[in-house]
């Protein structure tokens, strides 16, 4: 190990897998929670996304929609595109079998690579421009 010229080698496909997973979780709204919004308020960033009190007692809060989170109809549209996608044999895993309960699960590194490089750009083109204004 000490004789190797490079001790730490980062695999590009696995880095891309992590990035694609995080992009999907963020755009599907899985990483958005009241605690994240409270942290933004504590740091004083993005005031339009802070928790908004509602009700007379101010014990309940409303989370405004972030522009980067897909609406339920847009999320369903992306999942429908992925479910109906037909690819050549052995090109990418059968995506229609990997979609359950509104989530993608069980994909390999190469599947995320193909998603990131070719499929997600096509899916996001079908979505209204509010998502593209952020990117």
pLDDT above 80: residue 53: yes
pLDDT digits (tens, 9 = 90+) for 79-89: 888 888 888 88
Distance in angstroms (rounded) separating the CA atoms of residues 64 and 40: 13
Q: Which residue has the higher pLDDT, 58 or 78?
A: 78
Same domain for 61 and 74? no
Same domain for 55 and 79? no
pLDDT category at 36 given cuts 50, 70, 90 is confident
Same domain for 122 and 75? yes
Same domain for 10 and 74? yes
Same domain for 73 and 123? yes
Same domain for 98 and 135? yes
Same domain for 99 and 130? yes
Same domain for 52 and 88? no
Distance in angstroms (rounded) separating the CA atoms of residues 78 and 85: 11
User: What is the DSSP secondary structure assignment for residue 11, as one 8-state letter?
Assistant: -
State the virtual CA torsion across 11, 13, 15, 19 in degrees, nearest 10. 180
Distance in angstroms (rounded) separating the CA atoms of residues 67 and 90: 36
Residue 48's domain spans which residues?
33-65
pLDDT digits (tens, 9 = 90+) for 64-75: 888 888 888 888
- Which residues does 71 contact at the CB level (< 8 Å), separation at least 6? 65
Distance in angstroms (rounded) separating the CA atoms of residues 98 and 79: 10
Same domain for 20 and 78? yes
Q: What's the average model confidence in pLDDT over 94-108?
A: 84
End residue of a domain, out of 42, 65, 88 = 65
Same domain for 83 and 110? yes
Total domain count, the chain: 2
Same domain for 23 and 47? no
CA-based nearest residue to 14, from 113, 118, 103, 95 = 113
What is the CB-side half-sphere exposure of residue 22 using CA atoms within 13 A? Answer: 6
Q: Write down the pTM of the prediction.
A: 0.74
Distance of CA 119 to the CA centre of its chain: 13
As a whole number, the mean pLDDT across the chain is 83
pLDDT above 70: residue 90: yes
3-class SS at 54? Answer: strand
Output the pLDDT for position 133: 52
Same domain for 15 and 73? yes
């Amino acid at each position: 190990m000490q004789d190797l010229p490079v001790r730490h080698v980062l695999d590009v496909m696995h880095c891309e897998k992590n990035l694609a997973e995080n992009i999907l979780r963020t755009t599907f709204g899985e990483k958005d929670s009241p605690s994240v919004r409270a942290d933004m308020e504590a740091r004083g960033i993005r005031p339009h996304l802070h928790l908004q009190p509602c009700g007379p007692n101010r014990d309940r809060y409303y989370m405004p929609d972030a522009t980067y989170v897909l609406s339920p109809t847009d999320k369903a549209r992306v999942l429908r595109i992925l479910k109906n996608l037909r690819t050549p044999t052995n090109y990418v895993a059968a995506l229609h079998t990997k979609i359950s309960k509104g989530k993608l699960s069980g994909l390999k590194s190469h599947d995320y690579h193909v998603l990131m490089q070719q499929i997600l750009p096509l899916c996001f083109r079908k979505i209204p421009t509010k998502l593209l204004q952020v990117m």
